[in-house]
Structure 1
Amino acid sequence: MRKKDAPTRKRSEATSEHEDPYKAKNPVQFVKQSVDELKKVVWPTWAQTLAMFGAVLTFVLIMIAIVGVLDFAFGWGLLKLFGSN
């Protein structure tokens, strides 16, 4: 566990106005700050990307199957209950 650098602010200090150190004064400064932040990002490897894609695809296909079965069951049940022409 990491030790805090500074004590927790009081509620009155937290709700008061504070200066945002990342507030850009112009579009050029905003772009520079954005580029600096993107350099800090840890991007996944290709293998991690494929694994996450596979997990998401599997989950979505399972959800499609569940919703499809429920749709079919409710539709069949309503047709039996109210009849069809």
Structure 2
Amino acid sequence: MSWDKRKAKRVKFEHEHRATLLGADGTWRRDCVLLDCSETGARLRVEGSPDVLRARHFFLLLSQTGLAFRRCELVRLDGVEVGVHFVSGSAAV
């Protein structure tokens, strides 16, 4: 299955952009690298066990202080690479 099925234009990064995944309930966190991103979602490489992502809903912290973040829903899990959809406003659970 291809990673290129996103309708929104994606941006690929030349340099490594570090981020953090945080469980919606705050009980777990995983460091990750942002591989590419669009207005509607992103592709990430997760460090450590990706098993906790099966919870399906979590936050992507884009800054060290946590002030820039996106609520995410798991779309695809392929080894250590993860595809997420950004959940907005009324669609959030």
Higher relative contact order (CA 8 A, sep 6+): 2
User: Please, what TM-score do these two structures have when normalized by structure 1?
Assistant: 0.15
Higher helix share: 1
- The answer to which structure has the higher strand fraction is 2
Structure of higher CA gyration radius: 1
